[in-house]
Amino acid sequence: MFDPLLLELTTRIQAKGGESVFVKEEFKKCVSKRGDAFISSWLWKVPGFRRWRVTRLDAGQKLQVLNSVAYPEFDNDQPLMGIDLLWFGSSSKLVAILDFQPLIQEEAYFARYFQGLKLLQSDYPEFNNKEIMRSFDPNKYFSPWILFCRGGLAEATKSLPLAFSAFLNCYLDLQKNALQGQSHISDSQVKRLQIDYDIYSAERDPAHGLFSSYFGKTWSDHFLNEFLFPGSSLCN
């Protein structure tokens, strides 16, 4: 379902000068014990970003996922880019979440980085669902202009590709501002906040149960703490 979007994301990353980084065999590709699902991951070093990861989960009709997070360099306090797209084929349900994940929740920070995302939210009203979050706190590492859609086939095939491209463009535009010296938070504080993002996300990510059911608890613990949110294992 999301392969054209994965291709678009990869193409954009490469056009930005992204270079593929080594991923441990265990995380690069893993097939479920029953052989009914496989998960693949890629890691990129893109100029301006210290880490950009991409994961694709293919569990056939049951579930398709595209997930990605971009972590800017520590000298740039711009939000992280977070993408989580899920397609439940048997029930034709889409859950799509795209956000500029803010390091802090302050008006001046929002004014610096969120003008573009604000406009996108008004351009794509189907991504403006007033969703109640169950696992996460909407006021921690999520923005007031999060693009969040619970929809069906029409949203997945028509609106999502448009919103996805516009979202990527808009996020990549942020870097131009960063280059103009807009970063206000100190490098050490950005580092602390990005690590805290990993710790918080590893604790809350609703994917853990799902991964465990396909790939076993041990693999899932490693994948979450070492690949998805490596900052979370620094304090262990």
The residue ranges that bind ligand BLA (CB under 6 A) are 55, 57, 65, 67, 69, 82-84, 86, 95, 97, 99, 133-136, 205-207, 210, 228
3-state DSSP assignment of residue 185: coil
| Pick from 66, 81, 82, 68: nearest CA to 1 | 66
- Rounded to an integer, what distance in angstroms lies between the CA atom of residue 164 and that of residue 66? 12
3-state DSSP assignment of residue 8: helix
Taking the least distance from each CB to ligand BLA, the nearer of 56 and 180 is 56
Q: How far is the CB of 11 from ligand BLA (least distance, A)?
A: 20
Residue 232 near residue 199 (C-beta atoms within 8 A): yes
Q: How far is the CB of 147 from ligand BLA (least distance, A)?
A: 9
Q: How far is the CB of 27 from ligand BLA (least distance, A)?
A: 11
DSSP letter at 227 equals I
Q: How far is the CB of 168 from ligand BLA (least distance, A)?
A: 13
Taking the least distance from each CB to ligand BLA, the nearer of 86 and 178 is 86
In the beta sheet, which residues pair with residue 86? 65, 95
Q: How far is the CB of 151 from ligand BLA (least distance, A)?
A: 12
Taking the least distance from each CB to ligand BLA, the nearer of 40 and 115 is 40
Q: Which residue, judged by CB position, is nearest to ligand BLA in the bound state?
A: 82
Provide the token pair at 141: 């590492």
User: What angle do helix axes 3-15 and 160-179 make, rounded to 10 degrees?
Assistant: 20
**Direct distance between the N- and C-terminal alpha carbons of the chain, in angstroms, rounded to an integer:** 37
Q: Is 222 exposed, middle or buried, given 0-12, 13-18 or 19+ CB atoms closer than 10 A? A: middle
Q: How far is the CB of 39 from ligand BLA (least distance, A)?
A: 8
| Pick from 53, 43, 147: nearest CA to 100 | 147
